[in-house]
Amino acid sequence: MPVHSGLLRLATEGDGQIVDLTSGVASVVRQSGAREGVATVFAVGSTLAVTTMEYEPGGVQDLTRALERLLPAEGDYAHNRLNHDTNSHAHQRASIVGPSESIPVVGGELALGTWQQVVLLDFDDRPRQRSVHVHVIS
């Protein structure tokens, strides 16, 4: 069977919280038995995103601040006005960072760098229950 799928479910705090997904993604890859392939990681929802980073407190703080500086939570946003909502910034950040990354599997392992983790960024302004799909093709 060439496609093995896994679903990561997690409770997030929102407000730009960055969660390290690496062990969860690696677990799906292990269960797939794939030696060579590609793992696609996809965040379900329009106020969160997936990327990679060196997951350490300084980098987490800097990335959070950069996104707040570039796409501030406060602003005269049409999404908030038209929908009586408060999270337009979360939508903007999610679309620019993007919901998916595809990571090669080499020798049964994710081909990440030593200081490179797969992360979920939850930009919404409240805690959420989130789903991340991991599909391994091999």
Least CB distance to a second copy at residue 117 (A): 8
> Which residue in 25, 37, 120, 123 binds a second copy (CB under 8 A)?
37
How far apart (Å, rounded) are the C-alpha atoms in residues 7 and 90? 23
How far apart (Å, rounded) are the C-alpha atoms in residues 41 and 51? 9
> Which residue in 5, 23, 27, 31 binds a second copy (CB under 8 A)?
5
Does 19 bind a second copy (CB under 8 A)? Our answer is no
3-state SS string for 16-45? CEEEECHHHHHHHHHHHCCCEEEEEEEECC
Q: Pick out residues in 88-117 that bind a second copy (CB under 8 A).
A: 88, 91-92, 94-104, 106, 111-113, 115-117
Burial class (CB in 10 A: 0-12, 13-18, 19+), 84: exposed
How far apart (Å, rounded) are the C-alpha atoms in residues 100 and 106? 19
> Which residue in 24, 52, 120, 122 binds a second copy (CB under 8 A)?
52
Does 8 bind a second copy (CB under 8 A)? Our answer is no
Least CB distance to a second copy at residue 75 (A): 8
How far apart (Å, rounded) are the C-alpha atoms in residues 133 and 44? 8
Site residue total, a second copy (CB under 8 A) = 59
Of the candidates 25, 27, 23, the one whose C-alpha atom is nearest the C-alpha of residue 43 is 25
Using CB under 8 A, list all residues that contact a second copy.
Answer: 2-3, 5, 36-38, 40, 42, 44-46, 51-54, 56-59, 61-63, 66-67, 70-71, 77-83, 88, 91-92, 94-104, 106, 111-113, 115-117, 119, 133, 135, 137-138
